[in-house]
């Protein structure tokens, strides 16, 4: 190689070396799938890495007092390499507060028999207080949670509605669908709502995501559960905290599957059939019947709407829910407030559609479910109370 060519290659490679940004976390951590004995921690790095979570008790000792138990994302026994880190932490005690940090070590070369690591990055436990979370506890008498929906990428609205969420006051948040207009790329998910959520509350307060019809759209829609894993591996699932059992349903798309807007990809009628088969077992389960309150979360409303998705959920889900002591169903989608008391519209339970730009605060004790609708200024708009069905 001629000397000047060699110098040019050296010069250009040094530019690209200096041009590369530092290895870092670009979003997260955020908490998912909180349970009595487990939690899943997710975060995203700008380049491929091995990631892990360290857990420490919430005691007076510094995080650096000891080597902390470490949890990795492993695939069939082999630690995962990637940018989206999803670490399941198990073996935790119910109703217990833990401190944690996330760490990632960049993988700069990955060959069959050689792996080269670069720099490490993680959440700080030295200059700032380590992140904390508290596991769920079915023995707890009261819980508080907040539900928002139809934010459609408006970070200012999300921020205003969830600004007061803290791990001390709020056990969890529920995104009841349409947090974005579609899921086209990771950057768009981060920018539309995930960055705001992680910076506002989600590093310490878990959120559950009921998929909205807009989250079924876009090239990244297939990866929805990679970013927002559920306990069942489907977009419908259940969870329990304190006196309340939550049933999260997926109403799917709102138009007929063969609508031109879905470009031949809609297969939601069949998905709702599978979901209905699963739902039949859930409502008959002891866990469902024994809870003091049963709250159903679904983005698409089965009432006050005559689009195909709404009619499907009314036909397939409501007959299964009626007669099983449901205490409340919370929906979104129409962007307009609607309330139907038990017995109206073919449902033997009350149903409330939360409008966009409002949050629903639920305070649930063993005796009463109190619901407050709040606007972006924090003003209470409406309240409802429901007694436990004994
Ligand atoms: Fe919607």
**pLDDT tens digits, 271-284:** 999 999 999 999 99
Q: What is the pLDDT confidence band of residue 2, given thresholds at 50, 70 and 90?
A: low
148 with 127, same domain?
Answer: no
Q: Which residues are placed with Cβ below 5 angstroms of ligand 1, an ion? A: 178, 212-213, 333
175 with 34, same domain?
Answer: no
- Domain span holding position 334: 143-387
156 with 121, same domain?
Answer: no
Report CA(330)–ligand 1 centroid distance (Å).
Answer: 13
Average pLDDT of the residues in 341-369? 97
Q: How far is CA 288 from CA 140, 238, 326, 327, in A?
A: 17, 9, 9, 11
Report CA(332)–ligand 1 centroid distance (Å).
Answer: 7
Residue-wise pLDDT for 118-159, tens only, equals 999 999 998 889 999 999 999 999 999 999 999 999 999 999
Report CA(296)–ligand 1 centroid distance (Å).
Answer: 17
Report CA(177)–ligand 1 centroid distance (Å).
Answer: 7
Choose among 121, 47, 125, 135: nearest CA to 89.
135
Report CA(211)–ligand 1 centroid distance (Å).
Answer: 9
Residues 6+ apart with CB under 8 A from 378: 164
| Cβ-contact 168, 202 below 8 angstroms | no
Whether residue 10 has pLDDT greater than 80:
no
232 with 120, same domain?
Answer: no
Last residue of a domain, which of 76, 106, 134?
Answer: 134
Q: What is the largest CA-CA distance in the chain?
A: 88
Last residue of a domain, which of 76, 102, 134?
Answer: 134
Average pLDDT of the residues in 247-263? 94
164 with 268, same domain?
Answer: yes
DSSP 92: P
Indicate left, alpha or beta for 10 from its phi (over 0: left) and psi (-120 to 50: alpha).
alpha
Report CA(214)–ligand 1 centroid distance (Å).
Answer: 6
pTM check: above 0.85: yes
186 with 280, same domain?
Answer: yes
Domain count, the chain: 2
Report CA(270)–ligand 1 centroid distance (Å).
Answer: 19
Residue-wise pLDDT for 323-335, tens only, equals 999 999 999 999 9
105 with 149, same domain?
Answer: no
**Partners of residue 260 on adjacent β-strands:** none
Whether residue 305 has pLDDT greater than 60:
yes
193 with 120, same domain?
Answer: no
| Cβ-contact 147, 178 below 8 angstroms | no
**Confidence (pLDDT) at 127:** 84
Q: How far is CA 275 from CA 251, 314, 317, in A?
A: 9, 13, 9
């Amino acid at each position: 190689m001629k000397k000047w060519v060699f110098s040019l290659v050296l010069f250009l490679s040094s530019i690209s070396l200096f041009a590369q940004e530092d290895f870092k976390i670009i979003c997260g951590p955020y908490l998912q799938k909180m349970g009595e004995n487990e939690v899943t921690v997710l975060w995203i790095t700008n380049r491929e890495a091995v990631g892990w979570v360290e857990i420490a008790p919430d005691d007076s000792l510094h995080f650096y007092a000891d080597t902390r138990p470490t949890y990795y994302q492993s695939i069939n026994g082999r630690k995962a390499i990637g940018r989206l880190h999803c670490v399941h932490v198990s073996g935790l005690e119910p109703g217990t507060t833990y401190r944690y940090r996330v760490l990632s070590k960049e993988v700069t070369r990955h060959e069959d028999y050689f792996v080269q690591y670069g720099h490490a990055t993680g959440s700080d436990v030295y200059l700032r207080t380590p992140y904390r979370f508290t596991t769920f506890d079915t023995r707890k008498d009261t819980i508080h949670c907040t539900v928002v929906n139809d934010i459609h990428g408006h970070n200012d609205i999300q921020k205003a509605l969830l600004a007061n969420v803290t791990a001390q006051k709020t056990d969890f948040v529920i995104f009841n669908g349409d947090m974005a207009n579609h899921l086209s790329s990771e950057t768009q998910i981060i920018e539309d709502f995930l960055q705001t959520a992680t910076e506002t509350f989600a590093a310490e307060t878990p959120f559950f995501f009921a998929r909205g019809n807009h989250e079924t759209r876009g090239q990244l829609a297939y990866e929805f559960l990679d970013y927002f894993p559920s306990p069942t591996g489907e977009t419908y699932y259940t969870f329990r905290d304190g006196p309340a059992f939550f049933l999260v349903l997926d109403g799917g798309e709102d138009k007929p599957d063969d609508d031109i807007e879905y470009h031949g990809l809609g297969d939601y009628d069949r998905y709702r059939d599978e979901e209905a088969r699963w739902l039949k077992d859930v409502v008959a389960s002891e866990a469902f019947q024994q809870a003091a309150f049963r709250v159903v979360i679904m983005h698409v409303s089965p009432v006050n709407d005559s689009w195909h998705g709404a009619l499907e959920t009314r036909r397939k889900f409501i007959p299964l829910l009626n007669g099983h002591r449901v205490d409340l169903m919370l929906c979104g989608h129409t962007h307009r407030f609607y309330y139907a008391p038990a017995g109206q519209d073919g449902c033997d339970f009350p149903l409330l559609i939360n409008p966009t730009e409002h949050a629903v605060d639920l305070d649930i004790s063993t005796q009463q479910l109190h619901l407050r609708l709040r606007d972006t200024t924090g003003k209470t708009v409406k309240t409802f109370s429901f007694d436990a069905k004994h």
